[in-house]
């Protein structure tokens, strides 16, 4: 029987999630059971900031959010807990999750000064209204920095060199290109900035009453950090903006302590003065923690508006697609992430056209066809895709296996096809999406087969999809019924960080789960069994052929992959 890591009986651990549209909180007790959760919705509850879906959209792809709205949301959520008579004094640690890549600019002389001299009888946002050099923070939805991305990549020696150093090629939403744009277009604002925080480290700064370091996992979403050495890359800083290192401050392992909760919150809400703040991290790293992925080979697939794949590996291979971040709950391993733009809406488009808008009909059609779809493969992009970078469009091919070549390996010919029948079309879209996930996750360093796949998001309700994922990936597939994996992950990281601090050493987060198998985060359900069998092997060959077709399409459409 595994030894239980004991937590004080009365302890509560808070996980906040400052996401694009809301601020949420999830509270765990000493058995790591969720005892309470609350949320503040930006558009409706802080409507004076006039956001739509939590953001302001400007010209040329600019997307920002008001920094003071995030501050006010923090007050609002604590006020809600206060009116619920929440026992703040039992909270041992707080951590959090922030939408990745978004950045906050603290004004010279005003920022840290304001944080350090907060008066607990006054509201937080009023005291911080002059603390920022930029009131509108650029966020992950911003796509206005293509020029800066290309300039950084060229100056550093190419996109692959940047990916090798930082874990990702340059992306418009990443913080380095965003900072470069501010430096180039508003130099005086850049010069008047004392510290640049990420949304995650910004929220942690509010809680500790001082500038908090950026954690390794979220730091890797900036195109500025040396992924393996976990320091700012001087070479990349030099091609981004002058004097940047001083403005970024330090980096810290995600499971470590950012500081004690500031007197402001202790006095205003009656938190215990010994309550600590564990470094915040990005929403995707927190979700990885919230889904209890903890071992190399664990993979999660979220089937939503966009599809996201993330997993843990000890041997990442950063390249021209996807992202590699340090694992937020294990400094020795890495988290890989792939974001697809064409997810559920594209599947629904095919369902509407080919299956009378019904998932039932869609699934019948899937059953009419067999795995591998008689060699019929398709690429379905109703939106311009990121993986691979292709414009909206449809491409259909028929693969035919030809006699083994002299080296004995099977080879294929591919013929362009104009139309598939509805059943083929239905299988081609889903099989194509999952084959792409397998091929790209292997390319970025996930083992084949993975240890297990956890499927979340709306699409995880479709049993046929789960069966197909098990066949394609060749491993068991599980589902987890949680919609708040980021705030749950933050609450778990809060407990994990508190234990590591108490023991004065790092312990694997899985040690926390031992003996607590009934807790929400680890309660995943086996929904489909998969095997490393001949079908898995055959799908592997198809995945390779698909990658060749994908490369050809990218070259044909004159876009660099
Ligand atoms: C990840 C990304 C989004 C945001 C959403 O790279 O840009 O998932 O983190 O909050």
> Sign of dihedral through CA atoms 323, 328, 329, 331?
positive
Same domain for 277 and 406:
no
Predicted TM-score (pTM) above 0.75: yes
Same domain for 206 and 106:
yes
DSSP classification of residue 408: S
What pLDDT score was predicted for residue 406? 66
Q: How far is the CA of 31 from the centre of ligand 1 (A)?
A: 30
Quote the CA–CA distance of 531 and 471 in Å, as a whole number: 7
What pLDDT score was predicted for residue 558? 65
SS (H, E, C) 359-399: HHHHHHHHHHCCCCHHHEEEEEECCCECCCCECCEEEEEEE
- Residues 293-323: tens digit of each pLDDT: 988 999 999 998 889 999 999 999 999 999 9
Q: Which residue's CA lies nearest to atom 1 of ligand 1?
A: 100
pLDDT at 518 over 90: no
96, 284, 289, 312, 481 from 512: Cα distances, Å = 18, 21, 12, 18, 20
Residue at a domain's end among 259, 286, 313: 286
Same domain for 272 and 362:
no
Atom of ligand 1 nearest to the CA of 20: 10
Same domain for 352 and 275:
no
Quote the CA–CA distance of 103 and 108 in Å, as a whole number: 16
Atom of ligand 1 nearest to the CA of 173: 7
Q: How far is the CA of 282 from the centre of ligand 1 (A)?
A: 8
Structure token pair of residue 11: 């302890």
94, 100, 378, 418 from 105: Cα distances, Å = 23, 15, 45, 52
Bigger pLDDT: 110 or 4? 110
Q: Which residue's CA lies nearest to atom 5 of ligand 1?
A: 99
The answer to whether the CB of 173 is under 6 A from ligand 1 is yes
Q: How far is the CA of 453 from the centre of ligand 1 (A)?
A: 21
The DSSP element (H or E) to which 112 belongs, if any, is helix 111-116
- Residues 365-391: tens digit of each pLDDT: 999 999 999 999 999 999 889 899 899
Same domain for 278 and 353:
no
Q: How far is the CA of 234 from the centre of ligand 1 (A)?
A: 25
Q: How far is the CA of 139 from the centre of ligand 1 (A)?
A: 9
- Residues 15-41: tens digit of each pLDDT: 999 999 999 999 999 999 999 999 999
Q: Which residue's CA lies nearest to atom 10 of ligand 1?
A: 99
Same domain for 471 and 375:
yes
- CATH number reported for the structural domain that contains residue 351 in this entry: 3.30.420.40
Residue 327 lies in a domain: no
Same domain for 362 and 251:
no
Residue 473 lies in a domain: yes
- For residues 93-118, give the mean pLDDT: 96
Residue 95 lies in a domain: yes
Atom of ligand 1 nearest to the CA of 100: 9
Same domain for 184 and 35:
yes
Residue 308 lies in a domain: no
Mutate which of 23, 53, 100 for ligand 1 pocket (most atoms within 8 A of beta carbon) = 100
Residue at a domain's end among 265, 286, 307: 286
What pLDDT score was predicted for residue 547? 97
Q: Which residue's CA lies nearest to atom 6 of ligand 1?
A: 100
The answer to whether the CB of 140 is under 6 A from ligand 1 is yes
65, 342, 352 from 135: Cα distances, Å = 8, 33, 43
Q: How far is the CA of 226 from the centre of ligand 1 (A)?
A: 20
Same domain for 360 and 268:
no
Instruction: Please give the distance of CA 375 from its chain centroid, rounded to a whole number.
Output: 34
Quote the CA–CA distance of 108 and 130 in Å, as a whole number: 10
Residue 489 lies in a domain: no
Phi-psi map region of 23: left, alpha, beta (phi>0 left; psi -120 to 50 alpha): beta
Q: What band does 482 get if pLDDT is binned at 50, 70 and 90?
A: confident
Quote the CA–CA distance of 80 and 90 in Å, as a whole number: 17
Residue 310 lies in a domain: no
Q: Which residue's CA lies nearest to atom 9 of ligand 1?
A: 100
What pLDDT score was predicted for residue 372? 97
Q: How many structural domains is the chain composed of?
A: 2
Query: Nearest to residue 73, comparing CAs of 212, 206, 192?
Result: 206
- Residue ranges making up the domain that contains 547: 344-443+447-478+529-556
Q: What band does 561 get if pLDDT is binned at 50, 70 and 90?
A: very low
pLDDT at 145 over 80: yes
Quote the CA–CA distance of 197 and 203 in Å, as a whole number: 9
pLDDT at 483 over 90: no
SS (H, E, C) 189-258: HHHCEEEEEEHHHHHHHHHHCCCCCEEHHHHCCCCCEECCCCEECHHHHHCCCCCHHHHHCCEECCCCEE
Residue 390 lies in a domain: yes
Same domain for 388 and 263:
no
Q: What band does 409 get if pLDDT is binned at 50, 70 and 90?
A: confident
Atom of ligand 1 nearest to the CA of 284: 9
Measure CA of the first residue to CA of the last residue in the chain; give whole Å.
50
Same domain for 260 and 146:
yes
Q: Burial level of 56, CB count in 10 A (0-12/13-18/19+)?
A: middle
Quote the CA–CA distance of 143 and 320 in Å, as a whole number: 18
The answer to whether the CB of 22 is under 6 A from ligand 1 is no
Same domain for 371 and 257:
no
Quote the CA–CA distance of 234 and 193 in Å, as a whole number: 19
Residue at a domain's end among 243, 270, 286: 286
Q: How far is the CA of 324 from the centre of ligand 1 (A)?
A: 13
Q: How far is the CA of 494 from the centre of ligand 1 (A)?
A: 21
Residue 500 lies in a domain: no
The answer to whether the CB of 283 is under 6 A from ligand 1 is yes
């Amino acid at each position: 029987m595994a030894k239980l890591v004991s937590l004080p009986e009365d302890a509560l651990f808070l996980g906040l999630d400052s996401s694009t549209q809301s601020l949420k909180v999830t509270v765990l007790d000493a058995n790591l059971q969720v005892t309470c959760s609350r949320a503040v919705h930006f558009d409706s509850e802080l409507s004076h900031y006039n956001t739509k879906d939590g953001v302001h959209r400007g010209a040329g792809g600019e997307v920002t959010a008001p920094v003071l709205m995030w501050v006010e949301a923090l007050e609002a959520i604590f006020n809600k807990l206060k009116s619920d008579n929440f026992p703040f004094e039992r909270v041992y640690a707080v951590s959090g999750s922030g939408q990745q890549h978004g950045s906050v600019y603290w004004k010279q002389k005003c920022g840290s000064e304001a944080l350090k001299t907060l008066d607990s009888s006054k509201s937080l946002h009023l005291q911080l209204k002059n603390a920022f050099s930029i009131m509108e923070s650029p966020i992950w939805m911003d796509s206005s920095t293509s020029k800066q991305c290309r300039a950084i990549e060229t100056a550093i020696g190419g996109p692959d060199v940047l990916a090798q150093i930082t874990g990702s090629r340059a992306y418009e939403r990443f913080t380095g290109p965003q900072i470069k744009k501010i430096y180039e277009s508003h130099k005086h604002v850049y010069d008047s900035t004392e510290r640049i925080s990420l949304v995650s480290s910004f929220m942690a700064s509010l809680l500790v009453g001082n500038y908090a370091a950026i954690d390794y996992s979220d730091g890797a979403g900036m195109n500025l950090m040396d992924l393996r050495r976990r320091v700012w890359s001087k070479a990349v800083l030099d091609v981004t903006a002058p004097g940047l290192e001083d403005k970024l401050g330090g980096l810290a392992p995600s499971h470590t302590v950012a500081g004690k909760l500031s007197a402001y919150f202790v006095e205003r809400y009656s938190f215990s003065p010994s309550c600590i703040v564990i470094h915040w991290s990005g929403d995707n790293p927190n979700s990885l923690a919230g889904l209890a992925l903890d071992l190399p080979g664990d993979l999660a697939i979220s089937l939503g508006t966009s599809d996201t794949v993330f997993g843990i590996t000890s041997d990442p291979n950063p390249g021209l697609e996807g992202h590699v971040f340090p694992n937020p709950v294990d400094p020795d391993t890495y988290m890989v992430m792939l974001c697809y733009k064409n997810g559920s809406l594209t599947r629904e488009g095919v369902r509407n056209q080919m299956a009378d808008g019904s998932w039932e009909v869609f699934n019948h059609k899937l059953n009419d066809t067999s795995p591998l779809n008689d060699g019929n493969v398709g690429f379905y992009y109703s939106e311009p895709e990121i993986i691979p970078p292709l414009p909206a469009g449809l491409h259909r091919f028929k693969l035919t296996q030809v006699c083994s070549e002299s080296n004995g390996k099977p080879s294929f010919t591919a013929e362009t096809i104009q139309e598939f029948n509805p059943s083929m079309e239905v299988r081609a879209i889903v099989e194509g999406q999952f084959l792409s996930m397998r091929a790209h996750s292997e390319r970025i360093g996930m083992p084949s087969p993975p240890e297990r796949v956890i499927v979340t998001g709306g699409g995880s309700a479709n049993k046929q999809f789960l069966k197909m994922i098990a066949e394609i990936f060749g491993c068991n597939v599980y589902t987890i019924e949680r919609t708040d994996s980021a705030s749950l992950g933050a609450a778990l990281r809060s407990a994990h960080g508190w234990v590591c601090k108490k023991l004065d050493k790092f312990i694997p987060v899985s040690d926390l789960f031992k003996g607590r198998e009934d807790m929400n985060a680890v309660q995943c359900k086996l929904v489909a069994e998969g095997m490393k069998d001949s079908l898995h092997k055959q799908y592997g060959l198809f995945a390779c052929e698909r990658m060749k077709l994908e490369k050809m399409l990218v070259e044909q459409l004159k876009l660099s992959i």
